[in-house]
């Protein structure tokens, strides 16, 4: 049986990846992390969507130890999410080590359920400035996990080279645009759908949707070309 594990936050990107995975694999498992994030409403949204979409299983893991170690606007309610970069050149919403931990635990889970594919919605083309969303990082983690577990695991990143407009086109291609638009939670302030309209995540999401709606045919063609 062809199995996959999707790292699933209940946001636009991971939901789009889950929708696609469900058309490509016989069995899809979703894994969500509770790290004490400020927008922890996403956990409930992920549970609802995983059930609605028909994931074989949905595991929610308590990794609040990350919250103790990583100081970020996403792990501290008293640090407002900023639109500006810090002195280190990174957004203050960057959670150091987050994707290292997420990919490691998801890799272990994949090993246990016999899944050879691990899917994550990270993106280098239109990302938020996070170093752990880069293709180079994912490839390094893929190699480390496969070597460390002596298990041939393939980490797939369907959104890696898509911009946000093309990610909306992907959702539309799988007839899930309205669901992704209305039922996912991308907002750092925990508001479903279009969100607060003020945080960087909402800005990126809204701009991508507007770009897609204004140039649907062109963007869809670009998405399909990149997905060949």
Which amino acids are annotated as binding site for ATP, given as ranges? Answer: 8-18
Binding residues for Zn(2+) are 187, 196, 199, 202
Q: What angle do CA 19, 24, 26 make, to 5 degrees?
A: 105
The structure tokens listed for 43 are 């956990």
**CA–CA distance, 85 with 135 (Å, rounded to integer):** 21
Tokens for 214, please give them: 């204004």
CA distance 8 to 31: 6
DSSP string, 126-140: S--S-GGGSHHHHHH
Q: By 3-state DSSP, what share of the chain in percent is helix, strand and coil, each rounded to 5?
A: 45, 10, 40
Q: CB of 160 within 8 A of CB of 213?
A: no
Distances, alpha carbon 108 to alpha carbons 28, 58, 91, in Å: 15, 15, 29
- Judged on CB neighbours under 10 Å (0-12, 13-18, 19+), 205 is buried
What lies within 8 Å, CB to CB, of 138 at 6+ separation is: 103, 120, 122, 155, 157, 160
Q: Which residues are annotated as a binding site?
A: 8-18, 187, 196, 199, 202
């Amino acid at each position: 049986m062809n199995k996959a594990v999707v790292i699933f936050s209940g946001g636009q990107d991971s939901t789009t990846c889950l929708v696609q995975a469900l058309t490509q694999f016989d069995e899809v498992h979703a894994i969500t992390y509770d790290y004490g994030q400020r927008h922890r409403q996403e956990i409930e949204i992920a549970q609802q969507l995983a059930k609605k979409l028909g994931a074989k299983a949905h595991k929610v893991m308590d990794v609040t130890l990350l919250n103790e170690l990583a100081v970020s606007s996403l792990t501290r309610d008293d640090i407002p999410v900023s639109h500006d970069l810090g002195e280190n050149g990174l957004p203050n919403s960057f959670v150091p080590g987050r994707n290292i931990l997420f990919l490691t635990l998801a890799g272990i889970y994949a090993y246990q359920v016999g899944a050879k594919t691990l899917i994550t919605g990270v993106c280098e083309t239109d990302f938020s400035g996070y170093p752990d969303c880069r293709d180079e990082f994912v490839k390094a983690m893929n190699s480390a996990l496969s070597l460390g577990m002596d298990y041939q695991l393939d980490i797939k990143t369907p959104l890696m080279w898509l911009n946000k407009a093309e990610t909306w086109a992907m959702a539309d291609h799988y007839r899930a645009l309205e669901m992704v638009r209305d039922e996912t939670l991308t907002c750092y302030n925990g508001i479903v759908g279009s969100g607060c309209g003020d945080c960087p995540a909402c800005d990126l999401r809204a701009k991508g949707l507007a770009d897609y709606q204004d140039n649907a045919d062109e963007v869809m063609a670009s998405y399909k070309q990149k997905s060949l």
